[in-house]
Amino acid sequence: MPPIDGVNIVRRYYRRTGVRRPVEKSKKKHRKCGSYRIMEQRGHMTPYGNGSFTLCYEPEFSIMPSMTMTINPSKLLLSPQDLGAIVAQYMPIESARIAYIECKLDLEHTDAKHLADAISIKWARQRQSHSSTSFSFGGKRSRERITIYDKAVQLDIDVIGLTRLEVKIRLPTKGRPTVAEFVSGCWEPRNPFAKMRLMEASGLCEVEQAARDAIADDGVHNGLKTYAQITNRGRADKAKKILLFEVPELWEAWLDLLEMWYCPVADTVDDGIVATGA
């Protein structure tokens, strides 16, 4: 079930006993084909406005997780304390752990396509184009997925040059922070932009014409991969060293947003993080 704005609960946690609810087992169906017998939607009032819950009860197989919650603090304008209080209504925050995080930055005076054309990601195979203003690196099931899109188009507002950069990271099973650690600020996230490189346009004159043509056709990420196929890996690696540079400013900007979110005297909460707990 796709997440909705607010809170999306897709597993039941039996709060009294702290264990999974006994359910039927079946060998006829594959374990990934499990479903939930009861579904309902509820409204939830927060100090900052209304939110939505989707609840599914009674998993079909006992091997299915007891509960998973997807919460978007920026949509509900939740502070860390509010976030912890909501989770605590359904599961102990000292044992519930964060499985995914989404790191977001809004870039002003930036065209989404120009940014997507200028970015290269180390681990991504290809850059996908979903529309003329929406692009992604990595699949939906990848450990990391980067999305770039025109935020004004999504919000249907008349603003030019407002681009959203999102990095969704699936945290390793070992070492996942608890919700209590997450909302208290004790957990130190790693740099979500560490494998991102930005093209320096002034370096284009130093690479071969074939590389320039490939980059002009499909951006620097896909273009350098195409260039490696028509020449060789050595020339492509040399072009990468000339063109691509780290972008520490993105990490610094996101850390500033995170600090504002954790700050107890802040009047507003930031629009830069989403958490999924399991």
The reply to whether 180 and 270 lie within a common domain is yes
Predicted confidence (pLDDT) at residue 209 exceeds the cutoff of 70:
yes
Asked whether residue 45 falls in the same domain as residue 126, the answer is no
Distance CA 52, CA 86 (A): 12
Asked whether residue 19 is domain-assigned, the answer is: yes
pLDDT in tens, 83-116: 888 888 877 888 888 888 889 999 999 999 999 9
Question: Does residue 47 sit in the same domain as residue 157?
Answer: no
Domain identity same for 253 and 236: no
Number of domains composing the chain:
2
What distance in Å separates the CA atoms of residue 58 and residue 278, rounded to the nearest whole number? Answer: 16
Tens-digit pLDDT profile for residues 14-25: 433 344 444 444
Residue 1 lies in a domain: no
Q: Which two tokens stand for residue 170?
A: 């699936």
- pLDDT tens digits for 135-160? 999 887 788 999 999 998 888 888 88
> Do residue 27 and residue 147 come from a single domain?
no
Does the structure show a pLDDT above 70 at 53? no
Structural domain including 56 reads 7-101+171-190+247-277
In a domain, 53, yes or no: yes
φ/ψ bin of 58: left (φ > 0), alpha (ψ from -120 to 50), beta (otherwise) = left
SS3 129: strand
16 with 82, same domain: the answer is yes
Q: What does the block give as tokens for 47?
A: 């100090």
* End-to-end Cα spacing for the chain: 15
